[in-house]
Amino acid sequence: MLIALTAVLALAFVLNGDDTARASEEPALPTTNLPALMAANAQATNSYAAIVSRISPAVVTIRSEARARAPQQHPFLNDPRFREFFGDRMPQMPQQRGGERRRSGLGSGVIVTADGYILTNHHVIDGAERISVQLTDNRTFDAKVVGSDPPSDLAVLKVEAASLPVLNLGNSDDARVGDVVLAVGNPLGIGQTVTSGIVSAKGRSTGLSDGSFEDFIQTDAPINQGNSGGALVSMNGELIGINSQIMSPSGGNIGIGFAIPSNIAKGVMDQLMKTGKVRRGVLG
């Protein structure tokens, strides 16, 4: 047994020796030291502070106000004789229109030009009668809607200001699954917040919109209510998506968020800025 084991070890040594000899005769192939590469990447992404300081001033908080009618009970339901007659078998009565009440909304947006054009989601400002935009330096401006496009869930606002910080649009086609990204917005109204994650998938269909545009970037960067219209940013400090939706049974973040790719957003934005609407081709 010992002799056989010694023979096997000797054979293994000889085979390795032959491989080494052949390798020395052939040109060396480039190799990648994976642990070293991973360590270098970890060190390179140890802090996002430099990127955040550059991009965060261009992401704004958007507040909207709209009027909504409060539903009112049918007056018969308050009549004790009516209630006594029907008892537990109260009929379903149509609700009466009540008085008006104010409805407020909260979202985020991205400054795309120094003279005050802002890109956001359509659903952030849908039906709003008054819109205000707050910058990270706490300056607040009234905003008007330049144009809004429900099919893509995108809208462009304008504030009267100059020399504003801008976030440049990148090429979302260059984003790869696994790339690190940052999500910037104002979740739940607590103030501007930056979270990190990766591109989890591309070309996602959520079924949450009307189906006109179902080509989302999926990310696990935490996104919550109030992040809508905010920025999804690459490690180059460029806008590659407008955060738009989350998939969650509870309404909170579970690591499945969706952003409208910047290449789609740019096409819609350019048309809204020029004409206030989006023209699409019709087949047939």
Residues identified as active-site: 123, 153, 228
Phi/psi-derived region of residue 127, left when phi > 0, alpha when psi is between -120 and 50, beta in every other case: left
Q: Two tokens at 85?
A: 């007659």
CA Rg value for the chain? 28
> Can you tell me the distance from the alpha carbon of 54 to that of 241, in angstroms, rounded to the nearest whole number?
17
Place of tokens 């537990």: 88
3-state helix, strand, coil in the chain (%, to 5): 30, 35, 40
- CB contact at 8 A, 218 and 212: no
For residue 267, the tally of other CB atoms under 10 A from its CB is 13
- CB contact at 8 A, 117 and 273: yes
